[in-house]
Amino acid sequence: FEQITRTQEYYPTRTEKAILSDYAAEIAAHCGTGCVVIEPGSGNSEKVRLLLNAMRPAAYVPVDISAEFLYEAAVKLGLEFPWLKIQAVCADFGSQWQARTELPAGRRVVFYPGSTIGNMEPRDARDFLSGLRQWVGGDGGILIGVDLHKSEQLLNAAYNDASGVTASFNLNILNALNSLLNGDFREQAFSHRAFYNTEMKRIEMHLVSRESQVVALNGSSIRFHKGETLHTENSYKYTLEGFSELSESAGLALEKSWLDENRLFSIHYLTVA
């Protein structure tokens, strides 16, 4: 996925980073200094770096399921920001890890960049936000990245890069299925397809069967007709009004939004309604 974010066509990552950099002082003013910043799925903690000097949080809590990656990133961050208290937590953020973990005291702000919420079905996104609302408490906040509804041409290009990185990423799902469920999918028997469903306001990623075939998976046989697809992923895009409505349905108030000049991407600060 890191390779995808570096392709020329994939605008979300570089656009979000530009917003964070350009509006760091404003974002810090809304989040408040001295808070405890918690980042689920923190990865290499690249984006939070753009905010730390402005926010001066009391502590940073990266949460990631990959222990080696998590602790390596935490060490690097500590060297770069020696004043920052870092408490790395190796866990699946969807689990009840917070009930087992004593976190630093302070007002909590969850940092959730990358428009990962777009990969959730709207009902699941609402439930996820509702869970964060209960967890951050009445005085906490959520700083979240959201990709915006835009031209079909631009969206289709972002998920069909000329270098084929996204296609390889999608096709690699077949290798994962083979490994996890003892399958015999052949990559060459499928092709990548991604398109923007304007009615649903989502990118759909599919793997299209190039031929009629039978695939073994977990002890069963699955028949594919030529042209039949495996629907592998959705990425929902929101209007500002649509995301505000989603937030309200989760008991949250959209306090402030930041956008790039081309209105490609957005970052929102949510508080408990």
Q: How, if at all, do strands 190-197 and 202-209 pair? A: antiparallel
What mean pLDDT comes out for the span 42-51?
Answer: 95
pLDDT of 126 higher than 90:
yes
Residue 86 CB partners (closer than 8 Å, separation 6+): 59, 60, 61, 62, 74, 77, 78
CB-CB contact of 67 with 140 (8 Å): no
Per DSSP bridges, beta strands 108-112 and 202-209 are: unpaired
Confidence check: pLDDT of 99 > 70: no
Indicate the domain borders of the chain: 2-149+237-272, 152-236
Please count the residues of the chain: 273
pLDDT of residue 98: 67
pLDDT in tens, 16-37: 999 999 999 999 999 998 999 9
- DSSP notation for 174-226: HHHHHHHHT----GGGEEEEEEEETTTTEEEEEEEESS-EEEEETTEEEEE-T
Encoded tokens for 20: 């964070």
What is the gyration radius of the CA atoms in the chain, in angstroms? 20
The pLDDT of residue 84 is above 70: yes
Pairwise CA distance, residues 222 & 208, whole Å: 14
Tell me the three state secondary structure of residue 13: helix
* CATH assignment, 2-149+237-272: 3.40.50.150
Looking at this protein, which amino acid is placed at residue 92? D
pLDDT at 252: 97
Residue 9: pLDDT band by 50, 70, 90 thresholds?
very high
Q: What is the pLDDT of residue 91?
A: 87
Is the pLDDT at 103 greater than 90? The verdict is no
pTM: 0.93
Question: What's the confidence (pLDDT) of residue 95?
Answer: 66
